[in-house]
Amino acid sequence: MAIPAAALCLLLTLVSGNYGYHRDELYFRMLPPAWGYIDQPPLTPWLVRSFGLIADEVWAVRIPATLSTLLALVVVVLITREFGGAAYAQGLCAWGFGFGVVPLLFGHVMLTASVDLVFWPAVVLCVVRALLRQAPAWWLAAGIIAGLATYNKLLIAGLLISLLAGLLVAGPRSALTTPWPWIGGALTLAVAAPNLAYQATHGWPQLSMGAALNENNAADTRVDMWWFLFVTLGPPLALVWCLGWWHLMRRTAWRPVRFIAIAFLVLLALAFAAGGQIYYSAGLVVVFFAVGCIPSAEIMRSRARRLAVWTVVAVNAVASTMIALPVIPVGVVGRTPVPEINQLARDQVGWPAYVAQIGDVVANLPDPSGVTIIAGNYGEAGALHRYGPARGLPPAHSGHNELYYLSTPPEDARTVIVVGGQADLAGAPFVSCEEVARLDNGLDVDNEEQGQPVLVCDRTQPWSDLWPRFRHLD
């Protein structure tokens, strides 16, 4: 495990400063300390801010993403060992998981999903130990970890519901007649209590956010989530996790934890109903991969088979690295298929250029002193927050998610620069608007900002009337 972990750490560290901030990272660094926000719990924004104290640079805020992926690698390999996998199976798991698509994606960019990559398999590992070792105290560890996970995302509830449903369907139901799982559940609630209290006292904003994601993403997610199952670690390794699911259902020795295979079906149904993001099931896919490495190692008896399997793992690692990590120079990546395949890659490109263009618009105004800026989304607002002060730009405001509540444009600003996707709202509330520029990253990368208009508008109505028009959740 040490060698693949060291190789993964080195690779992620070497590329951590390439390209630029992801839009979510720019958003997180703007959020002040709080018990929660309308779109998420506090953990990931807190990590971004904390590591940003090391240096206000992209490589610093990505340190916890790298650490999360390394911890996830350890946990996933421990799952292989827990199911009886020897050194060969553990090595296959470490190299296959560590250099798979999702671990590289989430290990490079600091997202909430980066931290969940540890929490979900860790909860399953504790449950497996509780049942396979007949050591019920591990239910308590599972409960504590699940409670901590709520500070990152409340999606851990989906895993817990799925595991409970799996136990009820496939057993061993006798586990539910003991107090241990219920004490573990009580610990989850106890650890999560401050987070849940925030939700309850703020009108359960996560429900509003979930509804918004469903409205905006559901149609695509309910299609894309199925093919994403097979690229979670890379298409060549999909056979391994499918093998893990199948053997978990069939092997007598693993009967006490067979319910995890049923829980996966429940989780898929929940993810389909939620319609939020396509990666919600990845936390269990990696568990089945860890299990599947055991029967995979068992069939690698001949030299030819071992050579074939390791060749597949190596090819998958190279392809995953090229797609998931910023190893292609940013000047030419727009001429490759990578931005079309990898949304995280295209969302890291162009922020300084966009801010420079907005800065030129402000500089060319007759009177730049009475200007405010409205950004269409939190990525644009975050980029202006990060790069705008060096250009003397006024603070940017946005109605996107939590930013709507953080600031309102000043009443003494009569000239408004409206940037990005909400430009179509500008015509109604303002006296006049003129398009003066279109954002261009100069790299031929077609991300959300590329080609968006920059408007100069005149305002006469008070912001108390105008600002609610710009509020949006997505």
- DSSP annotation string for 361-401: HHHTSS-GGGEEEEESSHHHHHHHHHHSGGGTPPPEEE-BT
**pLDDT of 423:** 62
- Reply yes or no on whether the pLDDT at 191 is more than 70: yes
Residues ≥6 apart with Cβ < 8 Å to 143: 183, 184, 185, 186, 187, 188, 191
Name beta bridge partners: 373: 396, 417
pLDDT digits (tens, 9 = 90+) for 82-120: 999 998 999 999 999 999 999 999 999 999 999 999 999
CB-CB contact of 380 with 354 (8 Å): yes
Average per-residue pLDDT for the chain: 92
What whole-number distance in Å separates Cα of residue 286 and Cα of residue 238?
Answer: 10
pTM of the model: 0.92
Is the bond preceding 172 in cis, omega lying within 30 degrees of 0?
yes
**Percentage of residues in the chain having pLDDT higher than 90:** 74
Q: How many residues does the chain have?
A: 474
CB-CB contact of 203 with 291 (8 Å): no
Name which of 57-66, 130-139, 294-303, 435-444 the model is least confident about. 294-303
Q: Which two tokens stand for residue 386?
A: 């990060």
Q: Count Cβ atoms below 10 Å from residue 171 Cβ, excluding itself.
A: 15
CB-CB contact of 80 with 287 (8 Å): no
**pLDDT of 427:** 56
CA 449 to mean position of chain CA atoms? 20
Tell me the torsion sign for CA atoms 141, 144, 149, 155: positive
Among 190, 183, 115, 193, CA closest to 155: 115
**pLDDT of 275:** 78
Give the H or E element holding residue 84.
none
- Reply yes or no on whether the pLDDT at 426 is more than 70: no
Provide φ and ψ at 20, rounded to 5°.
-170, -170
CA angle 321–116–265, rounded 5-degree value: 95
CB-CB contact of 439 with 454 (8 Å): yes
Tell me the torsion sign for CA atoms 326, 329, 331, 332: negative
Residues ≥6 apart with Cβ < 8 Å to 439: 350, 354, 357, 419, 420, 449, 450, 451, 452, 453, 454
In the β-sheet with 415-419, what is the strand arrangement from edge to edge? 396-398, 371-375, 415-419, 453-458, 432-438
**pLDDT of 474:** 83
Interval 19-32 mean pLDDT: 95
Interval 185-190 mean pLDDT: 96
Provide φ and ψ at 40, rounded to 5°.
-175, 165
Among 428, 422, 431, CA closest to 470: 422
CA distances, 60 to each of 25, 182, 269, 351 (Å): 11, 40, 37, 18
Contacts of 247-253 spanning 24+ positions with Cβ under 8 A: 247/291, 247/292, 247/294, 247/295, 248/288, 248/291, 253/84
List the helix and strand counts (H, then E) for the chain: 22, 5
In which residue are the tokens 């049923």 written?
262
pLDDT digits (tens, 9 = 90+) for 242-295: 999 999 999 999 999 999 999 999 999 998 988 778 888 889 999 999 999 999
What whole-number distance in Å separates Cα of residue 448 and Cα of residue 450?
Answer: 6
Among 25, 3, 22, CA closest to 99: 3
